[in-house]
Amino acid sequence: MKNFWTRIIEELSQAWIVTLKDIKVYYLRPGMIMFGFLMPFFMFFSFSVKREMSAGDGMARLLALTIFFTAAAAGPFIIPTERRLGTYDRLLAAPMSLLTLLLGKIAVGAFFAIAVSSIAVIIGILFLDASIAQPILMIAGIFIGSFTFSTMGLIFGSIPTRNPGDVQMPSTLIRWVLLFISGVFVPLSEMSTVARGISYISPLTYSQDLMNHAVLGTGELALWLNLSVLFLSGVIFLLPSIKLHKRGRVLGY
Amino acid sequence: MTHAIEVHDLTKIYPSSGQGLLAVDHINFTVEQGEVFGFLGPNGAGKSTTQRMLTTLLTPTEGQLLILGYDLADNAYPAKRQIGLVPEESNVYTELTAWDNLMFTGRLYRMSKTDRVVRAEELLKDFGLWEKKDVKAEEFSKGMKRRLSIAMAIIHKPALLFLDEPTPGLDVQSARTIQNLIRQLSSEGTTVFMTTHQIEEANQLCDRVAIINHGKIAAIDTPEKLKQTFQQVQSVEISFTVSFDDLEEKLATLPEVSTVLKIGDKWRLYTESPPALLPHLIKFTEKENLDIVSLNTLAPSLEDVFLQITGQQIGSVSEEPSSQKLGMKRKKGK
């Protein structure tokens, strides 16, 4: 039992080492800044111009957008880049489990999203004069959403390819589709029954609703449902990533 | 004693349309601990595929792999802790300094901070990179990146080091540093498994070599024993003070000569029996009124053996610089 816990601690520490290395190496790379930092802000401002919305409403949407886009940007950029440069082999050959490596990579995207979301919070408070109904829930929501959507991004990063371009296109396309069906730009309460039904398949719907609870103090769905779906989505998203990595080892990537 | 590497019926078929691409075909071999083992073969023969399977980067289709006694299919973890890998392309993190690259790798292999710092300093000094320890690797030359890549692979003092094409394209100083390192690691008991195109390098460094061709092991032995097996590729190397247009054709017609190869200002005459050829050659020089500058008999080189085994013609690969013009004349009927 002691060996088991020692191994768990060692693996977690290695995941952290991978995360720290990636933060140093990738956070300031143009691809990360473009897809992870600038894009959610551009999208928010382009959809917000001349639209009537309260400061709190705007902040809840900006938070949901940044968490979603930023967290999901890391995996599709970092892993294919590392495969192309051969540095991913160094990690795969190192004495750690595949799950440890993937956890390290998930944390890279999640921490990036947490950092960018913090900027969104500061903008919301200082420039939009927004107030936050439940600050602790907001922090929890940012954390859980960031990890969930970083895990989603990891699925695309796990596709066996050495060319980041092969992954960026489908990952961006799917993120855009999710964005439009998830109650970010059209609130759930204003959606038709069919559209609302479709929106429930997107985890972003629950993240947006969670942010509505946290910032506005009200949401369409139960809080426990939002938290549970986000948590379960994060766990479920890991499975295709593991499977794709194993497929990559068969194909030679 | 446990073998450093044991390979049983190892097979790799890459999934593709149809039946798939057979890259490695039921190969078997062992590598002893402390041995420097060369894995030679032409492009596409299966060298890198085999090495990637041995380092857990690629899943075999069939077969069993034991690294330092651990079956990779059952428990790769303890084996991974004891191996180091230097891929063909130097995979350093160019955004990090040389020091940070080593610290990262040391942490990955769970070295204590004291051990990491002491070992990194030792390696950077040994590899001539100490002065550049705080410089980002993106500013390094190819040779410096290669040296850093190797330092990262051995920071944790692996029992088994995999090197994929360690020296091609490097300056003489970097290549010499790496060759000396391989000898030093071997003398300290580290097993070295190297894939290479540099046949002369394998000849000088390796205790044993395996030659893989079309996914199968074609030969495996010490370099000297392999050379003895291929006495038909002995040669006589001769240079004259002058040359003339049809000299190559005339040399090719001499009895006992199988192939004529022009190497710079010298002619290499391949033969199964140099003693039988020499009298004919002397008579020829007298008849043609040629003055001999140098005359040597040569045992088969490992390159000759490699070419024979892989079915390539002599002259298609050479340890001579590629810019050097090579002429070749094969005797009719041979």
Domain housing A58: 2-251
Place of tokens 């008991």: B189
**Full-prediction pTM beyond 0.90?**
no
pLDDT at A2: 64
pLDDT at A1: 64
* Cβ of residue A6 closer than 8 Å to a chain B Cβ: no
Pick from B96, B100, B108: CB nearest A94: B108
Banded pLDDT at A220 (limits 50, 70, 90): very high
Answer yes or no: do B57 and A96 touch at CB < 8 A.
Answer: no
List the single best residue of B59, B100, B103, B105 to mutate versus A (max A Cβ within 10 A): B59
Banded pLDDT at B129 (limits 50, 70, 90): very high
Measure the CA–CA gap between B255 and B277, rounded to whole angstroms: 7
**The B234-240 sheet, strands edge to edge:** B292-298, B234-240, B266-271, B257-263, B326-330
pLDDT at A211: 95
Whether the CB-CB separation of A108 and A24 falls below 8 Å is answered with: no
Checking if the pLDDT of B230 tops 80, the result is no
CA distances from A26 to A23, A42, A92, A164, B93 (A): 6, 21, 18, 14, 10
Banded pLDDT at A52 (limits 50, 70, 90): confident
Pick from B55, B91, B105: CB nearest A86: B91
Whether the CB-CB separation of A172 and A77 falls below 8 Å is answered with: no
What's the complex ipTM? 0.89
Answer yes or no: do A249 and B96 touch at CB < 8 A.
Answer: no
**pLDDT average, residue stretch A59-71:** 92
List the single best residue of B56, B75, B111, B156 to mutate versus A (max A Cβ within 10 A): B56
Measure the CA–CA gap between B280 and B179, rounded to whole angstroms: 41
pLDDT at A179: 87
pLDDT at B8: 96
Checking if the pLDDT of B326 tops 50, the result is no
pLDDT at A21: 96
| Contacts (Cβ under 8 Å, ≥6 apart) of B43 | none
- At B136-182, the pLDDT tens digits run 999 999 889 999 999 999 999 999 999 998 888 788 888 888 899 99
Closest CA to A137 of A64, A220, A217: A217
- At A241-251, the pLDDT tens digits run 999 999 999 98
Mapped to the 3 state alphabet, what secondary structure does chain A carry? CHHHHHHHHHHHHHHHHHHHHHHHHHCCCHHHHHHHHHHHHHHHHHHHCCCCCCHHHHHHHHHHHHHHHHHHHHHHHHHHHHHHHCHHHHHHHCCCCHHHHHHHHHHHHHHHHHHHHHHHHHHHHHHCCCCCCCHHHHHHHHHHHHHHHHHHHHHHHCCCCCCHHHHHHHHHHHHHHHHHHCCCCCCHHHCCHHHHHHHCCCHHHHHHHHHHHHHHCCCCCCHHHHHHHHHHHHHHHHHHHHHHHHHHHHHCC
CB pairs under 8 A between A and B: 69
pLDDT at B314: 55
pLDDT at B313: 56
**pLDDT average, residue stretch A126-147:** 93
The pairing of strands B160-164 and B191-196 is parallel
* Cβ of residue B55 closer than 8 Å to a chain A Cβ: yes
pLDDT at B331: 47
Q: Enumerate the residues of chain A whose CB falls inside 8 A of the CB of residue B152.
A: 90
Question: How far apart are the CA of A13 and the nearest CA of chain B, in angstroms?
Answer: 9
pLDDT at B201: 86
* Cβ of residue A9 closer than 8 Å to a chain B Cβ: no
A54 or A203, higher pLDDT = A203
Percent of chain A, pLDDT > 90? 64
**pLDDT average, residue stretch A139-153:** 97
Most confident of A119-133, A225-239, B38-52, B208-222: A225-239
Least confident of A83-87, B52-56, B243-247: B243-247
pLDDT at B196: 86
pLDDT at B317: 42
Instruction: Share the mean pLDDT of chain A.
Output: 91
Checking if the pLDDT of B319 tops 80, the result is no
* Cβ of residue A87 closer than 8 Å to a chain B Cβ: yes
pLDDT at B328: 41
Answer yes or no: do A86 and B55 touch at CB < 8 A.
Answer: no
Number of CB atoms found within 10 A of residue B228's CB = 13
pLDDT at B323: 31
Question: How far apart are the CA of B95 and the nearest CA of chain A, in angstroms?
Answer: 6
- At B267-286, the pLDDT tens digits run 999 888 888 999 999 999 99
Question: How far apart are the CA of A105 and the nearest CA of chain B, in angstroms?
Answer: 14
Count the domains in chain A.
1
- At B66-100, the pLDDT tens digits run 999 999 999 899 999 999 999 988 889 999 999 99
Measure the CA–CA gap between A104 and A99, rounded to whole angstroms: 9
Question: How far apart are the CA of A91 and the nearest CA of chain B, in angstroms?
Answer: 8
Nearest chain A alpha carbon to B49: A252
Domains and CATH numbers, chain B: 5-227 (3.40.50.300), 229-330 (3.30.70)
pLDDT at B176: 87
Closest CA to A239 of A90, A98, A114, A78: A98
Banded pLDDT at B333 (limits 50, 70, 90): very low
Checking if the pLDDT of B17 tops 70, the result is no
- Bridge partner residues of B213 (DSSP): B216
Percent of chain B, pLDDT > 70? 92
Q: Enumerate the residues of chain B whose CB falls inside 8 A of the CB of residue A92.
A: 56-57
Instruction: Share the mean pLDDT of chain B.
Output: 87
